[in-house]
Structure 1
Amino acid sequence: MSRLGKLDLVVINPPSRKQVYQSLGSELSAIEPPVWAGLITTFVRRRGFSVELLDAEAEDLTPQQVAEHVTELNPLLTVVVVYGHQPSASTQNMSAAGQVCTVLKEKAPGLKVLLLGGHVAALPEQTLREEKPDLVCGGEGPFTILDLLQALRLAQPDYSKVRGLWYRDGETVRHTVPAPLVKDLDQEMPQLPWDLLPMKKYRAHNWHCLGNLQRQPYGAFYTTLGCPYHCTFCCIQTPFKGGEKTLGYNESVNSYRFWSPQSIADQIGHLVENYGVRNIKIADEMFVLNPRHVSAICDLIIERGYDLNIWAYARVDTVKDGMLEKLKRAGFNWLAFGIEAANEQVRKDVQKGFGQEDIYRTLEAVRAAGINVIGNYILGLPEDSLQTMQATLDMAMQLNCEFANFYSAMAYPGSKLYDIALQQGWPLPEKWSGYSQHSVDTLPLPTRYLSAAEVLRFRDSAFQAYFTNPEYLEAATEKFGEEAAKHIREMTSHRLVRHYA
């Protein structure tokens, strides 16, 4: 189907690491494969189109360098993908994506540029009006791109026939019917196009390799898409809602799709055998959820005898009896839990309805199985006060997990919390970069009792308090060695520049 001598599609992962992470971006942060951009590339490639994937993040390119490269390629369509590697982090990458679109259109006005991603699906009309792309995708992307490539081959493209598209018709913004979801994941996009990616550039998170700070090579991929839960601070489901509607889903029900265990094992095998990958991230919003799926994947990894260092997300209330021993044997050395807050009322307000005893019981079982725990905490949820945030920090210190992330509550576009913030008139960041947890202009939500500045100050002091705590450093040294403890001390020496306004 590819046109002779003409490239059909360029997919771009925009460069945002330095803006998003400040000094942490140079050495400490991970450099992750662009999972969603990669899956889209695979989907289109398997339909016979010619595709290039430009990972400007990993290649450390400027928007100008991206534009020069794409202009030389002169594709039929250019897609800029706005997805984050944290479940709700698409918005923080929007500034970089917008810059790429602007420079592309300035350098080559004739290029057709589509903007796509979680943030874009949440605010399609606003994105089209504020940014410089020709077109915007209102859903997950693959079928929209397929329709668009076919339309652009015509002398007079008819955008009204392209599903899931937002476009300008003179001064009017129009949109089409939603595109369907990709249903057969194994056949349509079985794995990332690893041959198109700069595999030597990717590196694992620093904590992922405590005890053996060899962070490369590295791989990341999904085993599922979507999440059945409805946490008010999360926007992970936003790109799927239009496609769910076309499939007849009730609005209150979230889709949840699976790659087969065999497909996952094959992808792991490809990474191990062709690239020597040992460090792997399962990027699912919630991997440890379906016991049958998890168990079958573990069985295949164990059967193949791979020596892996894997991490994945889990919930306190999804770890079932019998799972943990098999996870450990398969190489799952880290599980990340969204503990969020110590106060039960604070958790219930954002639909995290498990009890305090469940947290301690689950984490004790996980660590007894030899699996390290990352405790994820959110400070500044709507019901938080200084007292409840202190209780969260106290609980974090008591749990003394092998690693911890302290986030400020953000009203990400596409989340219920964003809708509430707009309704209540709560102040939101003036720029999309302000939604990054680590940027200079970070602006978290205020709570009913605290200003945004008070929340941010507490978050930054909590991070320092946790990782400089002698009990934590002693435990880290005992478990991972002196080199790991030295690395943690070096990490805490990086102080983020903030505007505590």
Structure 2
Amino acid sequence: MDILFLNPPISEHVYQNLSGGVATLELPVWMGMLTASMKSMGHSADQIDCAAESLATAQTYDRICQLNPKLICIVVYGQHPSASTQAMFGASYLCTELKKLDPTLKIIMLGGHISALPLRTMQDEACDFVCEGEGPRTLDALLQTDLKTISHLKKVPGLWYRDDGNIEHNPAAPLIEQKLLGTVFPEVDLKSLPMGNYKAPNWHCFDHIEQRQPYATVYTSLGCPFRCSFCCISAPFGKQGTFRYWEPEFIIKQFDVYAALGIKNIKIADEMFVLKEEHFLRIAELLIERKYDFNIWVFGRIDTIKPQHVDKLKAAGINWIVLGIEAFDQKVRTGVNKGRYTEEDIFAKTKMLKDGGIHVHGNFVFGLPDDTLETMQRSLDLAVELNLETANFYSAMAYPGSELYREAVRNNTELPETWLGYSQHSFDCKPLPTKHISSAEVLTFRDQAWSIYHNSPAYLNLIKTKFGQKTYDYIVNLKKINLSRRYSIDKVLAKASYE
């Protein structure tokens, strides 16, 4: 076999006691796309999802021995900005242990975090190579070499490698042109993947909380034209602002595959699906024509969703839209290049979606550079007032590949000591301090805010009324789970406005 892709295991340290059955288990869609890509280029390829199959390193190694690949590619690719870096804990462990078992294995690491920090990855990890960029052109060129001859390695675009102990790298491969997306990434290869194991986010299935599986993912576009400073989504694409999309008539075939497999819960992983009208509305039309009974969630923005979109999106099976509200204080949002909308817009657009039958998942970030305890309290108060079907509260992190990370490095800001420190739910979680408060205060406020929101009488009544007793009971049990934190303080910082 030419190449074997590995999705690294997920350590319980990443999610603590949420890993038992609460945490989402994502289809490794980028790995599936790369597998299909290599096959379309004439290479023999396969994939193993160590996370979904709960494989120990020895079991993974046994599978590797059976397949005997020329090259192993560990894919460290998150489907949201934090996921790639928090996956590094498992990826690093897997790479190190495989090399202990067989030092002759040739291993390349690839993904969002890897592209953000290619040199550090080469310095810190046991891999032989690093791919900086999207992957297909680098992997294709690398597989045409013997993986040893330096004069050949020097011609592989986007490759980092070692030459007599020195770390060298080549110029990045050019981005895949939009007209070639369907050729280079023809599909998500599902062969060898345990499709019944993937589990949707709990909120995605509030209408059917006991049926979170199966669950699948599809990209209809790549990149994002916006430049939010806390986001690292553009790391593998070379620059912020890059945006390409598959033609709707082509990408609908992936939805057809999922429908044939009986998969109901689907995530459209585009960083911003509700953006280019002729793209997402045409996909909605094609879904409506097929009359699939999908339960889809997508990302949107307050300033891109319009009234004329709602009915068509709902009819297409898009039942949830995740909105990056981030913070209610416009000065705080402007400080991270996300200040185009007002507080009034937030209330108007969320009401518009709710009235149209689309549930809203609000993402909020505490600890952005201009945040104070007062601005974070304002965000919490208004989140409670919005009373969305679900809300996720994040601590601001300097994710590698983001402008916040680059600023933190320039300013010698203290960052997490390990990649686990970038996981929102880990014991070692260590967010950025703001200009006004410490990282411990940010984290403590975040955890208290989560509890306050989910204990709101109005929220609990909404859940019971809209989704029923089973989902209400699920939320009540979820609230009993407490996260242990290394960097929190024993002090009440967040206050419930409804008390």
Q: What TM-score bracket applies, with the shorter chain setting the length? A: over 0.9
**In 1: Cα distance, 2:115 partner to 2:250 partner:** 28
Q: Are positions 1:470 and 2:464 aligned together? A: no
SS in structure 1 opposite 2:110?
A: strand
Q: What is the rounded CA distance, in whole Å, between the counterparts of 1:189 and 1:133 in structure 2?
A: 25
User: Are positions 1:292 and 2:278 aligned together?
Assistant: yes
**Partner residue of 2:141?**
147
Determine the C-alpha separation between the residues in 1 that align with 2:286 and 2:91: 38
Distance in 2 (alpha carbons) for counterparts of 1:487 and 1:152: 54
Answering whether residue 65 of structure 2 is matched by residue 71 of structure 1, we say yes
1:318 aligns with 2:312: no
Structure 2 residue aligned with 1:418, among 405, 410, 413?
A: 405
Q: Secondary structure at the match of 1:374?
A: strand
The aligned counterpart of 2:288 is 302
Letter of the 2:232 partner, please give it: C
Distance (whole Å) between structure 1 residues aligned to residue 253 and residue 190 of structure 2: 13
Q: State yes or no: 1:371 paired with 2:367.
A: no
Superposition deviation, residue 21 in structure 1? 1.2
Is residue 494 of structure 1 aligned with residue 481 of structure 2? yes
Q: Tell me the equivalent position of 2:429.
A: 442
Alignment correspondent of 1:394: 381
Q: Distance in 2 between matches of 1:118 and 1:155?
A: 27
Contact 1:64-1:100 at 8 Å conserved across structures = no
- 5 Å matches for 1:202-221? 202-213=198-209, 214-221=211-218
Q: Which amino acid aligns with 2:83?
A: A
Alignment partners' CA distance in 2, 1:196 and 1:327: 32
Residue in structure 1 matched with residue 189 of structure 2 by the alignment: 193
**Which residue identity lines up with residue 92 of structure 1 in the other structure?**
Q
The answer to whether the aligner puts 1:484 opposite 2:471 as a matched pair is yes
Q: Is 1:254 matched up with 2:276?
A: no
Aligned partners of 2:80 and 2:233 also within 8 Å: no
Deviation, structure 1 residue 285: 0.7
**CA-CA distance at 1:120 after TM superposition:** 0.8
Does the CA contact (< 8 Å) of 1:74 and 1:111 recur in 2? no
Of the three residues 37, 44, 47, the one matched with 1:43 is: 37
The one of 153, 160, 163 aligned to 1:159? 153
SS in 2 for 1:284: coil
1:208 Cα deviation (Å)?
A: 0.5
Q: Does 1:126 align with 2:112?
A: no
Is contact 1:122–1:239 with CA below 8 Å preserved after alignment? yes
More displaced, 286-295 or 419-428? Answer: 419-428
| Pairwise CA distance, 1:218 | 1.1
Superposed CA deviations along residues 45-87 of structure 1, whole A, max 9, x for unmatched, are 1112111110111111123332332233221000001112323
Q: Is the 8 A contact 1:71 1:108 kept in 2?
A: no
Please name the residue that 2:235 is paired with. Answer: 238
Unaligned stretches of 5+ in structure 1?
Answer: 1-6, 242-250
TM-score of the superposition, structure 1-length normalised? 0.94
Q: Which residue of 1 aligns with 2:76?
A: 82
| Aligned amino acid, residue 412 of structure 1 | Y
2:11–2:89 CA contact under 8 A, matched in 1: no
- With 349-358 and 222-231 compared, the bigger mean Cα shift is at 349-358
% same residue: 46
Structure 2's unaligned 5+ residue stretches are: 489-499
Deviation at 1:157, TM superposition (A): 6.9
What residue in structure 2 maps to residue 358 of structure 1?
Answer: 345
Q: Does 1:282 align with 2:273?
A: no
Are the structure 2 counterparts of residues 128 and 369 from structure 1 closer, same or farther at C-alpha, using a change threshold of 3 Å? same
Q: Is the 8 A contact 1:67 1:100 kept in 2?
A: no
Q: State the number of aligned residues.
A: 484
Conserved 8 A contact 2:366-2:442: yes
Contact 1:314 1:336 in 2 (8 A): yes
Deviations 1:22-50 (A, max 9, x none): 11122111111101111111110111211
Q: After TM superposition, give the deviation of residue 19 of structure 1 in Å.
A: 2.6
Deviates more, 1:187-196 or 1:377-386: 187-196
Give yes or no for the alignment of 1:459 onto 2:446: yes
Specify the code of the residue in structure 2 equivalent to 1:198. Answer: P
Q: Which runs of 4+ in 1 moved over 3 A?
A: 153-157
Give the 3 Å change call, closer, same or farther, for CA 473–72 of structure 1 in structure 2. same
Deviation at 1:154, TM superposition (A): 8.0
Distance (Å, rounded) in 1 between the aligned partners of 2:212 and 2:250: 25
Judge conservation of contact 1:428–1:445 (CA < 8 Å) in 2.
yes
SS of residue matched to 1:23: helix
Is 2:73–2:108's contact at 8 Å kept on the other side of the alignment? Answer: yes
1:329 aligns with 2:315: yes
CA change 1:65–1:448 in 2 (3 A) is same
CA distance in 1, matches of 2:150, 2:443: 52
Q: Which amino acid in 2 is paired with 1:10?
A: L
When normalised by structure 2's length, the TM-score is 0.95
Match of 2:91 in 1: 97
One-letter amino acid of the structure 2 residue matched with residue 202 of structure 1: Y
Distance in 1, matches of 2:453 and 2:215, equals 27
**Alignment counterpart, residue 53 of structure 2, candidates 53, 59, 66:** 59
Aligned to 2:9: 15
Instruction: For residue 458 of structure 2, give the secondary structure of its aligned residue in structure 1.
Output: helix
SS at match of 1:195: coil
Q: 1:225 matched to which residue of 2?
A: 222
Give the partner amino acid of 1:402.
Answer: E
- Structure 1 distance, partners of 2:382, 2:55, is 42
RMSD, aligned α-carbons: 1.4
In 2 relative to 1, CA 345–153 (structure 1 residues): closer, same or farther, beyond 3 Å? closer
Residue aligning to 2:495: none
Q: 125-134 or 164-173, which moves further after superposition?
A: 164-173
Matched residue of 2:144: which SS?
Answer: helix
**Counterparts of 2:237 and 2:60, CA distance in 1:** 29
